[in-house]
Structure 1
Amino acid sequence: MGNEDRNEVAMAENPRKEETGPVSVERAFEGQRVPGWREQLTARALVVSFFLSVMFSVIVMKLNLTTGIIPSLNVAAGLLGFFFVKLWTKGLESTGLLRTPFTRQENTVIQTCVVAAYGLAFSGGFGSYIFGMSSRIADQATEENNSQNIKEPKLGWMIGFMFVVSFLGLFSLVPLRKIMIIDYKLIYPSGTATAYLINGFHTPQGEKLAKKQVWTLGKFFVISFLWGFFQWFYTAGDDCGFAAFPTLGLKAYDNRFFFDFSATYVGVGMICPYMVNISVLLGAILSWGIMWPLINNQKGHWYSASLSPTSLHGLQGYRVFIGIAMILGDGLYNFLKVLHRTTSAFITAARKRPTTTLPVSDDDRPATTPTTFDDERRTEVFLKDQIPKWVAFGGYIAVAIISIITLPHIFPPLKWYFILVAYVFAPVLAFCNAYGCGLTDWSLASTYGKLAIFIFGAWAGASHGGVLAGLAACGVMMNVVSTASDLMQDFKTGYLTLASPRSMFVSQVIGTSMGCVIAPCVFWLFFKAFKDIGMPGSEYPAPYAIIYRNMAILGVDGFSSLPKHCLTLCYIFFALAIAINLARDLSPKKVARFIPIPMAMAIPFYIGSYFAIDMFVGSVILFVWEQLNKAKADAFGPAVASGLICGDGIWTLPQAVLALAQVKPPICMKFLSRKMNDKVDVYIGTLS
């Protein structure tokens, strides 16, 4: 899941390179029979997939509603899938009831199913466009908060919406799977990395390492869960507990600079590349350390001093819109970059004979690549189970018709002809995104979604619910483009693990079906349990909800809602994002790796710096570990990080249940300055 449509920042792991020379993966499995596609879809795989999907959906939803930074959880999904099915088969084996051994193909099915399900917790828009439709977010935006631009979250329509829009992308690129995987030989780095992970698990040496990794993950899962439980006892009021600990002083705390003891973001920092974490910290220092204090000094000159802290006509407006400008600048640059690479690849292919493969990197590859034993074996299995074209075309048309009929009833401003136009162009955009993702591992699904916000919002117009239409169109486009790219990643994983394309397609459909129910239910649990969700400064501020809504307002109303000098600053930071990206691409690699990432810099502009410090601490821990023992850090670092993320994330479930049951923590741990403490002591003395 390590791509931009899932976390706005490319955080995919670097896959190991394809084997060369005498090294062969498939020779190690040569004596094993490849099970048929129906045998790969076992009941135990689907049961394990369901429970892991619930767990990871909770984790992703928590991350989605706090900062929007979601790292790759493929390692954790692969490890836990392997562990639970191994536990299952070992138990049956000891009783003599085991009929079917656990295979890497079945492991691939679990991975595909789980990633498809928890992916919808992000691409479903519960922290962005769907929540951005609510009155809670609309009240913060102040503009276009009339009834025709508001759609309150309800479990029924959210599940229906997910089912209507999430399957179209699965059918859009199925006929092109052979071209993308075999003819073009696209790498799909995340899919390749996942395949090597699964292949490694099922070798004798890999199984031993996997068991140790699972033990490490489980140990830190328990530590993280218990730490979250311990912290809960001290959060009886607002700004209470370890999350409000002024570790860098009270003045820094007022500017959201503090370490909040979050196991989740320490784990995220250990998974994300160093430059992502450094970029987030630089963005936090630039915004909360320099810009916002300076702009706050202009209160009464640039904006009214009587405005509420959450008004977008005051300081909050600068935080939101300057962040939007950087996000759009970065998105536009990467869209044009991937489009250029895609176009260049096709021009190169057109100039050569038809059998030539397209380039998959900046380096020119020879027109003919020697065929290895692995290539022959994988191609044979990949082409064995064909998916009939009538399934793809018929499925796309059927789902599109249902969607065109259904969506206008859910979102009245989203007219049927808007959806028809979107679905006519969607396969082309899905192909461009899937092809670019195969080249760079950078999915631009959210960029296409933002494009849809502006196009369809402006088409609908301010007087006809343009904001709601734009947000709904964003969901339609983002889901089609995202699921198509994800499916092609899974085909690549299946190709490298000899999993049947049919089992990959069916498991993706099953995982998507699970996600269509699980993701809205998990969001509904958060929405009901935490009453201040979506509010600035709360435990779950949902930063992208207000950002996406304001993008829709910009698309409909233009720049009339911006405070004084905000537009000038937006232009500067839009250009700055493009300039930084240009510098990264044009500089030598040894220099480029020290240049920050604009998208990552923009994330803390709105929500604060605390998570940036958490992530930086995670980076420091991993860096020190690598200096002491790099091999061990490489092997167990992702497991430790996944354990920290999973344990803290799963603690959210009992925390939500306690909140729904009106069970409140017994203690409030709060920090005061010496002067304030003296005043409190005097006040308490007057009461006694």
Structure 2
Amino acid sequence: MDRDLEKANPKEDTEETTEELAFADVRVPPWREQLTIRAFVVSFILNIMFTFIVMKLNLTTGIIPSLNVSAGLLGFFFVKTWTKILEYFGMLKQPFTRQENTVIQTCVVACSGIAFSGGAGSYILGMTERISKAAGEEYGPSNTKTLALSWMIGFMFVVSFMGLFSVVPLRKIMIIDFKLKYPSGTATAHLINSFHTPSGAELAKKKVRELGKFFSFSFFWGLFQWFFSATEDCGFSNFPTFGIKAYKSRFYFDFSATYVGVGMICPYIINISLMIGAILSWGIMWPLIGTKKGDWYSKDVSASSLHGIQGYRVFISIAIILGDGLYNFMAVFGRTMYGLYKQKKDKSTNLMTEEHESFDDERRTKYFLQDQIPLWFAIAGYIALAAVAIVVVPLIFHQIKWYHVLLMYFVAPVMGFCNAYGAGLTDWSLASTYGKLAIFVIGGWVGASQGGIVAGLAACGVMMNIVSTASDLSQDFRAGYLTLASPRSMFISQVIGTAMGCVMSPCVFWIFYKAFPDLGLSGSQYAAPYGSIYRSMASLGVEGFSALPKYCLLLCIIFFVASFVVNGIRDVVEKWWPRWKGFIPVPMAMAIPFYLGGYFVIDMCVGSLILFIWEYRNKAKADAFAPSVASGLICGDGIWTLPSSLLALAGVKPPMCLQVISRAQAQAPA
């Protein structure tokens, strides 16, 4: 899922004003010493792990939690183990610092971010003939693109660095002048600081032990399940937990350690919203619409055709997603403009007031402003990369023209600023919303006859990469500010992580794409829902509403408006009755099971239930160790996807099939 649902739920919203006193006598290494070889070796290992994790999430449900805390935690675990070994042999030359830990976290988040914004499970997959045929389209070859590792890597390198250069000139304004919180970056920084203070050392060891324990359990549980999954319908992931009838409506527990862990990280309201969406769609709406077969849509269309019931599933979910995205775009843009106005007003009315800064603020500001990144460097870098993209992108996608790319790069800095500022206020990245806007603008401009579907999806990739990396780097600048990591080392680490991601993300996707021939198709192990959804958006942009089945447009309008209304109610309740906001569902989350079903929702709700019981019994312990347990579950299962994919590529099949059949099937004559 998009990172729109990645809204962090950090336990700490405020900083301890005396936090830096614990580090007052600790030397802060210069920026070059923060960029160590071991930091990037560890980052490389973690990048492989996290790319597989994010890619698996992309290709199953698309729901991706914030992995900043996991990256900081695992970075600490690996380097601490490394330094302990060297110290034992008397070979340790440089101690492990919180600045180095922040560099690792930045590099890992940058790389895993490309696995999301790179669009392998969304707009890139949506360009393929496989998805086009599954949707029952009749467009010509100009509206599909054959996937190849070479152009995918090239495209990533061309478009993924622009957002970094666009936000660099604004770092002081965002972090120092506006004092934006960036909750994910703040929570990660506090975690890293707690690891590196003497009082936090013992707790850090316990967290690492918990992570290692559940990492091992998750990995071997994935291995155990593999032995029983000889065919598509075999294995624990197809176990009809609530009966055969519920299973056919996609309600079952599929024993995924990944989504149990994701459920422990996501806020309760996200998981509840997913469950409401699953019940509303697969429990009520689809069975009712299914009774209208032959009236609302033809009996002859295939189950996967957008002209049948699949059209209702896809386009109603798109309507909810667009409604939620548009509302949040307007809300965040409004907050951004109001915030800018308020900042300017406060500055003009308080010119004569001397604001006293705490010891923490003075120390952090001093180091944050120490290593400046020249303005000319940022501007020159942006112009140079834009010039390259204007030439290269049309060579990769002949459907898009140089003036389309020029227009996007002209407006991208404004969009990147809005997204970065909005993320600082709300912790929501609306990268996918900007991408969807580009789909409709460029796709409609080009038109279906000239390859508007591929042009729109390519434009989505350009815009998403720019605004996503802009907000990611701003989050990392905030984390660096709180850990005294140099902005220069943050920027270099982000560049290196992005470069790694430009290679790793397409390569990991290629492994999945070749290992699973049904990848992207509804009902498969890796259904990649956003591949079909993004292609459907592009089709809608060039074709209009005439192709939709009967009453589908009316239902889309109803759910689009409902998405707006529910979001409005959430904002009103948050302002006047904040304690009740947690009882109002999030439309974006509700939309996902409309297409996929409720199987992964059950997993996530199990994760929420585990966390709820844990917090009820011992809230302090749950707050301290739940992120470690969740990270272990996600990472262990995520790493298992590497050997399982390689086994599939090598043609090695699981030896057994675990399958549950109905009594009628069992009693039927052979």
Give the TM bin, normalised by the shorter chain: over 0.9
> Where does residue 363 of structure 1 map in the other structure?
none
> Where does residue 540 of structure 1 map in the other structure?
526
Which residue identity lines up with residue 221 of structure 1 in the other structure?
F
> Where does residue 405 of structure 1 map in the other structure?
391
Q: Which stretch shows the higher mean deviation, 557-566 or 140-149?
A: 140-149
8 Å contact kept, 2:250–2:598? yes
Is residue 117 of structure 1 aligned with residue 106 of structure 2? no
For 1:615, which of 604, 611, 635 is the aligned residue? 604
Instruction: Could you tell me which runs of 5 or more consecutive residues in structure 1 were left unpaired when the two chains were aligned.
Output: 358-365, 684-688
Distance 1:156 1:375 in 2: 47
Is residue 37 of structure 1 aligned with residue 37 of structure 2? no
Distance 1:19 1:669 in 2: 51
Is residue 469 of structure 1 aligned with residue 466 of structure 2? no
Distance 1:566 1:33 in 2: 64
Q: Which stretch shows the higher mean deviation, 185-194 or 279-288?
A: 185-194
> Where does residue 12 of structure 1 map in the other structure?
8
Is residue 650 of structure 1 aligned with residue 656 of structure 2? no
> Where does residue 67 of structure 2 map in the other structure?
73
Which residue identity lines up with residue 242 of structure 1 in the other structure?
F
Q: CA deviation at 1:190?
A: 0.9
> Where does residue 686 of structure 1 map in the other structure?
none
Are residues 436 and 368 of structure 1, via their aligned partners in 2, closer, same or farther at CA, if it must alter by over 3 Å?
Answer: farther
Q: CA deviation at 1:89?
A: 1.1
For 1:629, which of 618, 621, 625 is the aligned residue? 618
Determine helix, strand or coil for the equivalent of 1:173: helix
Are residues 371 and 355 of structure 1, via their aligned partners in 2, closer, same or farther at CA, if it must alter by over 3 Å?
Answer: farther
For 2:287, which of 290, 293, 314 is the aligned residue? 293
Which residue identity lines up with residue 29 of structure 1 in the other structure?
F
> Where does residue 580 of structure 1 map in the other structure?
566
Per-residue CA shift, 1:495-519, capped at 9, x if unaligned? 1110011000000000000000011
Q: Which stretch shows the higher mean deviation, 613-622 or 88-97?
A: 88-97
8 Å contact kept, 1:135–1:145? no
Identity level (%)? 66
> Where does residue 47 of structure 1 map in the other structure?
41
Q: CA deviation at 1:132?
A: 0.4
Q: CA deviation at 1:615?
A: 0.6
Distance 2:87 2:345 in 1: 58
Are residues 353 and 80 of structure 1, via their aligned partners in 2, closer, same or farther at CA, if it must alter by over 3 Å?
Answer: closer
Q: CA deviation at 1:625?
A: 0.9
> Where does residue 676 of structure 1 map in the other structure?
665
Which residue identity lines up with residue 454 of structure 1 in the other structure?
F
> Where does residue 661 of structure 1 map in the other structure?
650
> Where does residue 83 of structure 2 map in the other structure?
89
> Where does residue 416 of structure 1 map in the other structure?
402
Q: CA deviation at 1:670?
A: 1.6
Q: TM-score, normalised by structure 2?
A: 0.98
Per-residue CA shift, 1:5-33, capped at 9, x if unaligned? x533133132523346xx41111111111
Q: CA deviation at 1:547?
A: 0.4
For 1:530, which of 502, 511, 516 is the aligned residue? 516
8 Å contact kept, 1:382–1:498? yes
Distance 1:625 1:173 in 2: 40
> Where does residue 242 of structure 2 map in the other structure?
248
Q: CA deviation at 1:353?
A: 3.8
For 1:175, which of 169, 176, 197 is the aligned residue? 169
> Where does residue 57 of structure 2 map in the other structure?
63
Distance 2:218 2:175 in 1: 40
Instruction: Could you tell me which runs of 5 or more consecutive residues in structure 2 were left unpaired when the two chains were aligned.
Output: none
Per-residue CA shift, 1:126-179, capped at 9, x if unaligned? 110001001111112233542111112211111000000000111012111111
Per-residue CA shift, 1:651-688, capped at 9, x if unaligned? 11111111111111111122211111111xx21xxxxx
> Where does residue 571 of structure 1 map in the other structure?
557
Determine helix, strand or coil for the equivalent of 2:376: helix
8 Å contact kept, 2:7–2:427? no
Determine helix, strand or coil for the equivalent of 1:300: coil
Per-residue CA shift, 1:265-319, capped at 9, x if unaligned? 1111111111100000010000000000000011111111121111111111100
8 Å contact kept, 1:143–1:561? no
For 1:224, which of 171, 196, 218 is the aligned residue? 218
For 2:590, which of 571, 576, 601 is the aligned residue? 601
Q: Which stretch shows the higher mean deviation, 11-20 or 602-611?
A: 11-20
Determine helix, strand or coil for the equivalent of 1:593: helix
8 Å contact kept, 1:190–1:441? yes
Q: CA deviation at 1:99?
A: 1.1
Distance 1:368 1:199 in 2: 30
Per-residue CA shift, 1:527-578, capped at 9, x if unaligned? 0111111110110000001000011111111112211110000000001101
Distance 2:510 2:585 in 1: 36
Distance 2:307 2:13 in 1: 51
Is residue 590 of structure 1 aligned with residue 579 of structure 2? yes
Q: CA deviation at 1:627?
A: 1.0
8 Å contact kept, 2:119–2:461? yes
Determine helix, strand or coil for the equivalent of 2:59: helix
Determine helix, strand or coil for the equivalent of 2:624: helix
